[in-house]
A and B are shown apart, each in its own frame.
Chain A
Amino acid sequence: MTAKQTITVGGCKIGLMRAGAGEPMLYLHGAAGAPLWTPFMAKMAERFDLLVPEHPGFGGSDTPDWLDSVGDLAYFYLDFIKDFGLEKLHLVGTSLGGWTALELAIRSTHAVKTLTVSCPVGLRVPDLSVGDIFMWTPEQRVRNLVHDQRLADQMLAVQPTEAQADVLLKNHYALARLAWQPRFFNPDLEKWLHRIDVPTHITWGRDDKLVPVAYAQAFAKLIPSARVTIIPDCGHLPHMEKTDAFARIVTAFCQERRP
Chain B
Amino acid sequence: MKFYFFHLMPYADLDLSFTEKYETTWVKLPNSYYDREKGHALYNRFLDELEYADTLGFDGIGVNEHHQTAYGMMPSPIVIASALSRRTKNAKLLILGSAIPLRANPLWLAEEHAMIDTITGGRLISGFVRGIGAEYHATGVNPIHSHDRFHEAHDLIIRAWTEPGPFRFAGKHYHFDYVNVWPRPYQQPHPPIWIPSQGSQETIEWASHPSRKYTYLQTFSPQAAVARFLKMYRDQAEKYGYEASGDQLGWAVPVYVAETDEIAKREARVHIERFRNKFSKMPFEMLLPPGYLTMGSMKRVAAAKANLSMDMTLEMVDEQGMFICGSPATVRERLAAAQKEIGFNHLLPLLQFGTLPHELTLKNTKMFAEQVMPHLRPLGETKAKAAAE
Contacts and interface: CB of A to CB of B under 8 A. Distances in A.
The answer to whether A and B belong to the same complex is yes
Interface stretch (B46-54, B283-291, B347-355, B361-369): B283-291
Contact of B285 (A136, A165, A173, A181): A136
Interface in A178-196: 180-183
Interface in B258-307: 283-286, 289-291, 295, 298-299
Interface in A147-196: 165-166, 169-170, 172-173, 175-177, 180-183
Contact of B144 (A136, A165, A166, A180): A180
B291 A173 contact: yes
B140 interface: yes
A176 B286 contact: no
18 contacts: A134-B289, A135-B137, A135-B283, A136-B285, A137-B284, A169-B299, A172-B290, A173-B144, A175-B290, A176-B143, A176-B144, A176-B289, A176-B290, A177-B144, A180-B136, A180-B142, A180-B143, A180-B144
B141 interface: yes
Contacts of A177: 142, 144, 291
B285 A169 contact: no
Interface residues of B, number: 18
A135 B299 CA distance: 18
Interface residues of A, number: 17
Contacts of B28: 135
Contact of A176 (B283, B284, B291, B299): B291
Nearest to A183: B140
Contacts of B283: 135, 137
Interface string B5-28: 000000000000000000000001
Interface string A25-39: 000000000000000
Nearest to B286: A135
A242 B276 CA distance: 46
A170 B291 contact: no
Given A134-B137, A177-B142, A169 B298 contact: yes
Q: Enumerate the 5 nearest inter-chain pairs by beta-carbon distance, A residue then B residue, closest first.
A: A176-B290, A180-B142, A177-B144, A173-B290, A181-B142
A180 B146 CA distance: 12
B248 to A, nearest CB: 32
A166 B302 CA distance: 12
Contact of B295 (A169, A181, A183): A169
A181 B141 contact: yes
A180 B142 CA distance: 6
A165 to B, nearest CB: 8
Given A134-B290, A173-B291, 13 more contacts: A134-B137, A136-B285, A169-B298, A173-B290, A173-B295, A176-B142, A176-B143, A177-B142, A180-B142, A180-B289, A180-B291, A181-B142, A182-B140
A64 to B, nearest CB: 14
A183 B142 CA distance: 10
A136 B283 CA distance: 10
A135 B283 CA distance: 8
A169 B303 CA distance: 13
**In the complex, which of the residues A136, A170, A180, A182 has the most CB atoms of chain B within 10 Å of its own CB atom?**
A180
Nearest to B28: A135
